[in-house]
A and B are shown apart, each in its own frame.
Chain A
Amino acid sequence: DADVTQTPRNRITKTGKRIMLECSQTKGHDRMYWYRQDPGLGLRLIYYSFDVKDINKGEISDGYSVSRQAQAKFSLSLESAIPNQTALYFCATSDPGLKQETQYFGPGTRLLVL
């Protein structure tokens, strides 16, 4: 079974709709991240969380919110989706016990906002 799972894998929605992307992990890591990937732009950090009570904005947090329901779960919400939020979204985890820790990525959620 995959260590980092994301649901849904694909989603089509309309402008103005609220949508939630979910991430679960079985790696036991405290740190979790949400990124978006756009063609030609690489990955950009949206939000990150060091534990259940510690949530921080990344470089492109506007229009997004997150919830860390438990150590293993980190959800990303688009309160009112707009077309330029069409992208591939990745969740990742890491273990702070290791210097220069490796991040482990989920398979991604492909989101299309019409």
Chain B
Amino acid sequence: GDSVTQMEGPVTLSEEAFLTINCTYTATGYPSLFWYVQYPGEGLQLLLKATKADDKGSNKGFEATYRKETTSFHLEKGSVQVSDSAVYFCALSAVTGFQKLVFGTGTRLLVSP
């Protein structure tokens, strides 16, 4: 079945450091791919998405490119801030039937001043 694998955390960085959170997927066909973010005490909110191969999703300085050849959707940000501290979830939307979301296990990011 469809699945998403993302790097275990926590990822600990200093402010202004470069961020990469790896995400790979297994799916039939060409799913849409998402990154959701969960700030402390809150629900998940969509950070960015890409719906086809080579698409780049971007928002709030974060970017991720849909790489069909490597089945990956790595999240990057050039300069993180303390306010980026959160848990990040990679997810895919199944292609067939009900387009349910399949989530990775989440990666906690901790940014220190």
Interface of A is mostly: strand
B103 at the interface (CB under 8 A from A): yes
Residue in contact with B103 in the complex, picked from A43, A48, A100, CB distance below 8 Å: A43
Chain A residues 79 to 110 lying within 8 A of chain B, measured CB to CB, are: 90, 92, 99-108
Residue in contact with A90 in the complex, picked from B41, B44, B49, B105, CB distance below 8 Å: B44
Q: Bound complex: CA of A95 vs CA of B98, how far in Å?
A: 13
Chain A residues 37 to 59 lying within 8 A of chain B, measured CB to CB, are: 40-45, 48, 56, 58
Q: Nearest CB to that of A38 among chain B residues? A: B105
Q: Bound complex: CA of A104 vs CA of B89, how far in Å?
A: 14
Interface of B is mostly: strand
Residue pair A41, B105 in contact (C-beta under 8 Å):
yes
Q: Bound complex: CA of A15 vs CA of B69, how far in Å?
A: 49
CB distance from A67 to the nearest CB of B (A): 20
A111 at the interface (CB under 8 A from B): no
Residues of A within 8 A of B98 (CB): 48, 56
Report A's interface with B, CB cutoff 8 A: 4, 40-45, 48, 56, 58, 90, 92, 99-108
CB<8 Å pairs between A and B, sample of 9:
A4-B43, A42-B4, A42-B106, A90-B44, A100-B32, A100-B51, A102-B49, A104-B46, A107-B41
